[in-house]
Every structure is written in C-alpha cells, then in structure tokens.
A and B are shown apart, each in its own frame.
Chain A
C-alpha cells in the first residue's frame, strides 16, 4: 500500500507527486503514456504570471474573471494569480529553460491586459514537463507507465486505490493507496478528429470519477480554437494572427477582427461556414523571411498536413475543440466529494476558467493546483486511517466482448462528427436533442461492440475501447449540461438563446446514480 497514488503524468500529476513526496508521503505515479508524452508537452504559447514591471496580480485576476463571465470563484482565481508568481519562481529554480530578455521573457496572449505569458521558445509545455519529470527522478518517485486507470476502488464513499490495466500484459492490477489524485487531463477528444488535443485526452479520469460517485461540473464549456488545420485539426497558434495573418473566406474577403477572443473568432468563422464559405488563414503578405523566422512550426505543419506552402498558398482552417473547462468538482484543496479522492489539472474544475479559459492560464493552473493537491493529499494521509479491506477483483479483459458485431472505431468517428456539428461552436435545442438521442442509442449498442484482438501483449485496441466507453459516458454529460443551460455564455453559444441570462449564473453540476446522470 502506498500513501498516495497519482494517476496521470502530465504537468499536474508530476507537480502533485513532487510536492507530496517533498512533504514526506510515499508516492506512486501511474500513467497510460510515458509522462513526457503527455499533452502538457504540446503547449507552445506560455504560462501566465504577473511578474512584469507594469503588471499586477490584481490585473491578472480581473482579466481572468472577465473572461470567465461570472462562472469563476473569486477566491480561487485569487489563489491562482497570487501563487502564480511563486510557481514561476519555483519552475525557474528547478531549471525550466525559459527564454530570457531582462528576466524571464513574456509575451502577450489574447484577453491579457499586459504582456504576461512566460515562455520557452515555442516549447513552453515541453520544457516545463521535462523539467518536472527530471525532478520526479531526483525525488526518486516511483513512476509506472502503460498503466490505464479502469476504475477507482471505492467503498462507502471512500477511495482505497484504483484498478489499473497493465497495457503491456492486459492484466488488471489493484493498487492500494490511502489517497488517490486524479490528473488525467481533459475530454476534448470527444470531438475526435475535430480536436487539437493529444490522442489520450479521452476523459478517462472524469468517467472513472463519475462512476465512483464524484460530482462533475460545467461540462458544456468547451473552448474551440479558431485556427486548426482543416484536415487534421493540428493547431496553428495564435501567433500567426498576432503577427498579422488574415482570416478570409472563399471570396478572399476578410470577415472578422482576427484578434478578438477565441470564442468570438470561432463563432465568426462558423457563421461564415454556414453560409457555405470555406475559411482560410492568409499569411502570404508576410515576407518569406519573416515567416521562416517567426512561424517555422506553422510552415512545417501546413506542408506536412495540408501539402501547402503557406508563403504562397492559403491555409485551409476550421475551429477545433481545444480545451475543456468542465471537470471533476473540487474544493480549494482539490478534494472531491469522495473521501480521499483529489483531482487536479484539466480533468478537474478548479473554478478559475469559468465559461472561457484565458490562454496561458491552464499551464499555470496545473503548477499552482498541482502543489496544492500534492500537499493536501499528503496531509490527508497523515491522519490516522483504518486499514481497508480490499478484495473485489475486477477482471475487465474477460468481460469484454470479443466477437463484436459493431465496429467501435466507426462509432467513434460518427460520434465525433455529430458532436462537432450539434455540440460544437454553435448549439441549439434541436441539434442537442439529436446528439442526445444518438448517444442513447450508442449506449444500448455498446454491448455489441468490443475488441477483436484477443492477444494479451500490448493490446492497444483494448485500451482504445475502454477510452471509447469513457468518451460515450462523458459525451452524455456534455449534451445534458448544454441542454440545461438555456443561455449563451463564453464558450457555450446557443443560437436559439443568444443572450446571457442571470438565472444561469450558477454551475451545472451532475453525478451518476444507478447508471443515470442526475443534476443538482
């Protein structure tokens, strides 16, 4: 038995592990990919903190609250922005190779009143993640990879460990722990190919928390990034527009302010598309020299995925699901309503992003709340605890249908398309009901789906099927939440109710009981 089991090796999980260990806990960290392969490595833009000479914590707080549109908690935003400064200092001390000018280099991101995002070239997330990983080695933290969280082990509302699938052998391991910290990332891959995310952002931790009796909230809030490559949804960063790139339609006409906030630009693009237009990002007027210097990544990706030379051709783009604001309900210590269970990072709802996340605030969130979660879980395990009786063995692989008549890969693609069309940038009652019905049918069909590959060694089809089941469950909470929010706010835009309505200034909170999703 370990004191703390951390599930997830992204920035949130690694930070929690380091701080828990520092405080004397015995920690094991498991993840379904190797830690350095987590989505955190993909963040390019930066991590916010009011360390600039003219900036202030107050300004960071008010920008964050403004973007959150009434759905963030002022105290928690205060914690994020205040402790953000120490978080950057800590990252600096442990060796994050930030870019430098006079001090740590910062750049301006959308919605920020000041230059506030600290960056390390275009590799901010990569360098933070790897530095944290190296610290975990320094602290001798036991890291087990290729372990897939199947379910939390919970008795009488209290967690005592987790059931993990060892992907290498297809065996189920029950790992006992006094406390469990979920740090499994977001759920944007519900949108499948219409998401900029890592292939692993499949809502596993949120689904497991739901099944364990945890509450989740604000699942309808999903941020769409306006400029993802059309065929692959690979992100073309904001800097392309920041540097002067235009958005144009099929008639080569500009149709919106390119520098407005992400939700507004995504909406403008979607409106234009509904008129039958194709949308392009145009950087041809920038000199080739400028592009080579400032947008080399974009140039490479456009060539790889769209076969185009962006110095000469228009870049076909679409908005894509990028960040999920909703997640597991936690208090200011990152504790869930299940005793001993904590959640941190994109899988949690820390009440700091509200209806719309500011670019650069999520890397900050994982470091600030990673520390809080690690320390809180550690404090919890120091309390006297009765030994748990653990017995129940969940033999997941043997319960899987190995003669499937319905192909889940096809359904996964179908669900993604339906979600993108009906639960995307623009929503309405009718479309949401279509999506809900689709999911209900899908749930009935799940018994006819399964895994054709019966080999035990490294059966990735099995892991992907478990992910798909989680996606279906969480997709349902997204649609149900979107149906309940009969207003438009931040990233949740209802064309049938285009205005903000003060009757909806509370969180949408749900939980699962007897296989049904219920709302508070």
Chain B
C-alpha cells in the first residue's frame, strides 16, 4: 500500500507492506522500520484519548479508527502550529477551555440528579478533545481568538448541568470571540468522531444568552454598516 505523508512543506511517499491495519499502525510501521524521525501522536489506540487526529485527503479522522487506502494523503491538523510532521501543538487550542470558563461550579449542597437531568449534557461530555472540529473550523482564518467548537460545546456541557451553581460566568465568557463569531457553517459536525455537534451547541448557547439578556453584537454592527451606506 502506498501512502503520502505531508512532512513540513513536502509530500513524502512510503510503501507500507501491510493491509487491513489502522492508519496509526501504518504510521508506527513507518517510524519503526523506515524512518525513525517521523513524528505523530498516539495514546489509547482505541479512539478515546483524542491524540492521533490527522487529516486524510483533507478530512479530519482519528488515525486509530481509520483504515488507510492506497494513495491516501495524510496531513497534520489545521489551525494550530505543527510541531513536526503530523504532531501539532495543542497548547493554544486547549487554552480556550479556560477562556470559556468551561468547568464545574458546584453548589454547596449535593443534588439529586435524575436520568432525565443527566441526558441534558451526556452527549457534550462524550467529547474526547481530539480537535477535529477545531481543525475543520474556517473561522480561525479570520479570527485566531475564536473560542471555537470544542470549548463552546464544553461550555454548554456545564451550562446545561443542573448541578451548576451559577451559569453566568460561563455565559459571559463566551460572548466575545465566542458564540457570535461562529458562522454556523456546520464544518465541525461531520468530522466529530463522537457524534457531538458543536454547531448545534453554539445555537443553544445563543438562545440561552438571548434569554439572559445578552445581545448579538454582530447584528448591531450589521445595522450600523447598513446605515452607513
């Protein structure tokens, strides 16, 4: 099987004499047998740690959950610095979780949570922070401070948690460079290996923000532009 790997700005071709293996196993084969300088990230090998995301023919996939085909082009994720070859630096992307204040803010008293309550944020908490959505999001081309899909999904996870003492800090944190900077293009949804839908979560957060009295600044800006015509 022939595989093409983008390493820095060049494309390298490798012949991997294996079939039926995962892309992650194929990369391991190249590193151990052909070129030990190849860099990529891995961890669990079972699609739960979010380490091994790369792009295959332009689309984000987990290398441990994808079976490569002849002539596939493998590239690193977008929207974050490449450390080397397929390994990317996640520091900046992960920092958006903190900017979004996506964390539990417990009430003083323990609370009874029903099955129904638990369903409210079950899907959002399936996120494995693989960054596929982050890589697919076109907004970073114009605003590198955009809080982005996974951090906003995580914000909703806690906003929708009935155990949360106060949702205001989180809602406030995602007004700037957050929910209104998303173009609702939906690119983040089909690439998510966990079936999470950040775009939908962002729409829900917009509704909640509206109910809490926050405005979409873009709409106001839009009016201004209009009047200037």
Contacts and interface: CB of A to CB of B under 8 A. Distances in A.
Contacts of A145: 90-91
Contact of B39 (A94, A451, A452, A458): A458
Interface in B25-68: 25, 31-32, 36-37, 39-51, 65, 67
B37 A452 contact: yes
A310 B122 CA distance: 28
Nearest to B112: A103
B22 A458 contact: no
B145 interface: no
Interface stretch (A124-132, A207-215, A343-351, A415-423): A124-132
Contacts of A98: 113, 118
Majority secondary structure, B binding face? loop
A39 interface: yes
Contacts of B121: 97
Nearest to A92: B110
B110 A89 contact: yes
Contact of B104 (A94, A232, A458): A94
- The interface size bin for chain B is 35 or more
A130 B45 contact: no
A384 B106 CA distance: 34
Identify the interface centre among A38, A42, A98: most chain B CB within 10 Å of its CB: A42
Given A95-B106, A97-B121, A305-B22, A232 B129 contact: no
Contacts of A93: 104, 106-107, 110, 163
Contacts of A199: 42-43, 45
A198 B42 CA distance: 9
Interface stretch (A134-142, A374-382, A469-477): A134-142
A123 B32 contact: no
Contacts of B97: 133-134, 137
Interface string A29-48: 00001101111011000000
Contact of B128 (A99, A126, A135, A459): A126
A100 B43 contact: no
B115 A304 contact: no
B36 A453 contact: yes
B158 interface: yes
B32 A36 contact: no
A138 B103 contact: yes
Nearest to B43: A37
B42 A134 contact: no
B71 interface: no
Interface string A210-251: 000000000000000000000010110000000000000000
B103 A137 contact: yes
A290 interface: no
B105 interface: yes
B126 interface: yes
A131 B113 contact: no
Interface residues of A, number: 54
B213 interface: no
B49 A100 contact: no
B113 to A, nearest CB: 6
Contacts of A337: none
Interface stretch (B81-89, B135-143, B179-187): B81-89
A100 B89 contact: no
B114 interface: yes
Nearest to A306: B20
A100 B118 contact: yes
B65 A42 contact: no
Interface of A: 33-34, 36-39, 41-42, 89, 92-95, 97-101, 103, 120-121, 123, 126-127, 130-131, 133-135, 137-138, 145, 168, 198-200, 232, 234-235, 300-301, 304-305, 307, 409, 451-453, 455, 457-461
14 contacts: A33-B51, A42-B44, A95-B161, A123-B126, A126-B128, A131-B104, A135-B103, A234-B46, A304-B65, A304-B67, A409-B36, A457-B83, A458-B87, A460-B39
Given A89-B110, A133-B97, 20 more contacts: A33-B43, A38-B43, A39-B44, A42-B46, A94-B104, A95-B103, A95-B104, A97-B121, A99-B115, A126-B128, A134-B104, A137-B97, A138-B105, A234-B46, A235-B46, A301-B46, A451-B36, A453-B36, A459-B84, A460-B87
